[in-house]
C-alpha cells in the first residue's frame, strides 16, 4: 500500500529509536503527517551552497566554511548570505521510506530559503530509503536578517512509501464524494468548474471579498530590522512589509526579485484521510516562484476550507498577475492510516487554520 506516514506512525518510529535526537524529540514536533526538525548548536557561514552527492556534508564544510558561530543563545543570519546548520535529529536505523522535506509555513512567509541536505545524497530536500546519518539545513535569508537559535524548527519532513499521490481520476472521484474547494461564501465550487491537472489548479486573489477586506497582498521592504524568530506577534509588520491595496481591474504587475505575499482565490479543504502539497510551479505560466512552504497536513481547512498563502518571487521580467489566474497546483496524497490528530486540533499548534491573507506568526498588523 502506498502512502505517507501519519502522527501515530511517526511517534512509533521515534519511540523505537529509528529517529534520534539529543535532547529528545518532543511530541509538539509531530504533526498529522510530518515531523518538524530543529536547528542544533553550531552554524557554518559558507561561501556558497553545495550538493554533497559523493561526500559527507562535514567534509565539504571543511573547505567551504568562512566561519562558525554558536546558536545556543541565538545568532543573526544576514540577508543574502548562505549558512549550513546541522539538525538535532538524525536517522539512526535504515528505513524503507523516502524522506522529503519542505520549509514550514512561517519559514516561507519570512522569505527564508531552506533546503535539507544529507551525506552523499544527490538531491536537495530528498533522502533515499535506507539512509542513516545526520541531517543538515541550508539557510539563505532573502528579505530580512533573522535571529535563530538552537531548537528552532524551520523545516519538516514526510516519510512516504511508494507513489502516494492521487491520480487526477482518483482526485476527481474524491471531489465528487465531498468537495475540496470553496468560494467566498463558503459554498462548494462545482466539479465542472474545477481544473484537474496533476492536482487541483488554484488561482490567486487580487480583489477584496468576505475575508479579504483589507490589503490583497504584501511586498517586503528592501531595508528592515532583524526578525527574531523566538518572538511571536511582536514585530510591527509596517516596518517589514508594504500592504498592497486592490488594484484597478483586479490586476497588478509584480517586479523581478521582489518578495510578495498573496492568498489563494479558492478555499481548500484537506480531508482527514489525505494530506496535500503545493506542486512546483509550472514554468509555462511565467518565470516566478509561487511558493516556498508546500506541506498541507490532514484536516487543513476544516469543513468549509481555508485559503492557501502564496510566497511569490518573480524572476527576470515583470509579470502581470490577474485575479483568479491559475497560480499553483495542489497535489493530494494518500496516507497509510487516519491520523490520531488533525490540523487545527487543540493538541497541535496550528497557527494558520481559518487564515485569510496572513503574514507569518511573528508579525502583528
Instruction: Give the DSSP per-residue string, 113-162.
Output: EEEEEETT-SSTTEE-TT--EEEEEEEEESSS-EEE-TT-EEEEEEEEES
311 shares a domain with 195: yes
53 shares a domain with 116: yes
355 shares a domain with 220: yes
215 shares a domain with 357: yes
Q: Domain boundary residue among 127, 161, 195?
A: 161
323 shares a domain with 177: yes
Backbone angles phi, psi at 167, to 5 degrees: -70, 165
Task: Tell which phi-psi region holds residue 340, choosing left (phi > 0), alpha (psi between -120 and 50) or beta.
Answer: alpha
Residue with grid cell 529509536, as numbered in its chain = 17
Q: Domain boundary residue among 161, 192, 214?
A: 161
Question: In angstroms, what is the C-alpha Rg of the chain?
Answer: 20
pLDDT at residue number 353: 54
Question: Around Cβ 244, how many Cβ atoms within 10 Å?
Answer: 18
311 shares a domain with 204: yes
* pLDDT tens-digit profile, the chain (365 residues): 899 999 999 999 999 999 999 999 999 999 999 999 999 999 999 999 999 999 999 999 999 999 999 999 999 999 999 999 999 999 999 999 999 999 998 999 999 999 999 999 999 999 999 999 999 999 999 999 999 999 999 999 999 999 999 999 999 999 999 999 999 888 999 999 999 999 999 999 999 988 788 899 999 999 999 999 999 999 999 999 999 999 889 999 999 999 999 999 999 999 999 999 998 656 555 556 777 768 999 999 988 899 999 999 988 889 899 999 998 899 999 999 999 999 877 666 555 555 678 899 999 98
Q: Which CATH number characterizes residue 330's domain?
A: 2.70.40.10
pLDDT at residue number 240: 98
Q: Domain boundary residue among 142, 161, 180?
A: 161
In the chain, the number of structural domains is: 2
322 shares a domain with 346: yes
330 shares a domain with 271: yes
pLDDT at residue number 211: 79
By residue range, what is the domain housing residue 58? 3-161
314 shares a domain with 197: yes
Strands 112-118 and 65-70: unpaired
Residues 341 and 319 sit within 8 Å (Cβ to Cβ): no
pLDDT at residue number 284: 59
355 shares a domain with 210: yes
Q: How far is CA 119 from the centre of its chain?
A: 23
Amino acid at each position: 500500500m502506498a502512502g505517507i506516514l501519519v502522527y501515530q506512525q511517526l511517534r512509533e518510529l521515534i519511540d523505537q529509536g529509528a529517529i534520534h535526537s539529543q535532547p529528545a524529540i518532543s511530541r509538539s514536533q509531530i504533526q498529522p503527517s510530518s515531523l518538524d526538525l530543529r536547528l542544533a548548536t553550531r552554524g557554518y557561514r559558507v561561501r556558497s551552497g553545495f550538493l554533497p552527492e559523493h561526500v559527507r556534508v562535514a567534509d565539504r564544510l571543511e573547505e567551504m566554511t568562512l566561519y562558525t558561530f554558536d546558536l545556543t543563545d541565538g545568532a543573526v543570519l544576514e540577508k543574502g548570505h548562505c549558512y549550513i546548520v546541522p539538525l538535532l535529529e538524525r536517522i539512526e536505523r535504515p528505513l524503507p521510506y523516502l524522506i522529503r522535506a519542505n520549509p514550514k509555513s512561517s519559514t516561507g512567509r519570512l522569505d527564508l530559503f531552506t533546503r535539507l541536505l544529507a551525506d552523499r545524497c544527490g538531491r536537495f530536500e530528498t533522502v533515499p530509503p535506507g539512509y542513516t546519518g545526520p541531517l543538515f539545513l541550508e539557510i539563505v535569508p532573502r528579505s530580512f536578517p533573522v535571529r535563530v537559535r538552537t531548537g528552532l524548527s524551520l523545516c519538516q519532513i514526510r516519510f512516504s512509501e511508494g507513489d502516494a499521490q492521487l491520480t487526477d481520476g482518483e482526485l476527481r472521484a474524491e471531489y465528487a464524494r465531498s468537495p475540496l474547494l470553496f468560494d467566498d461564501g463558503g459554498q462548494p465550487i462545482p466539479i465542472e468548474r474545477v481544473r484537474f491537472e496533476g492536482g487541483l489548479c488554484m488561482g490567486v486573489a487580487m480583489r477584496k471579498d468576505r475575508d479579504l477586506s483589507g490589503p490583497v497582498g504584501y511586498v517586503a521592504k528592501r531595508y528592515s530590522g532583524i526578525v527574531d524568530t523566538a518572538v511571536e506577534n511582536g514585530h510591527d509588520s509596517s516596518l517589514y512589509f508594504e500592504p498592497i491595496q486592490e488594484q484597478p481591474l483586479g490586476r497588478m504587475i509584480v517586479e523581478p526579485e521582489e518578495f510578495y505575499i498573496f492568498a489563494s482565490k479558492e478555499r481548500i479543504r484537506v480531508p482527514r484521510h489525505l494530506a496535500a502539497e503545493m506542486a512546483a510551479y509550472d514554468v509555462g505560466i511565467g518565470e516566478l516562484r509561487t511558493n516556498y512552504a508546500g506541506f498541507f497536513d490532514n484536516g487543513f481547512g476544516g469543513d468549509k476550507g481555508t485559503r492557501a498563502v502564496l510566497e511569490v518571487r518573480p524572476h527576470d521580467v515583470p509579470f502581470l498577475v490577474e485575479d483568479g489566474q491559475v497560480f499553483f497546483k495542489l497535489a493530494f496524497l494518500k496516507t497509510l492510516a487516519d491520523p490520531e490528530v488533525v490540523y487545527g486540533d487543540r493538541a497541535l499548534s496550528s497557527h494558520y487554520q481559518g487564515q485569510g491573507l496572513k503574514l507569518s506568526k511573528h508579525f502583528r498588523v
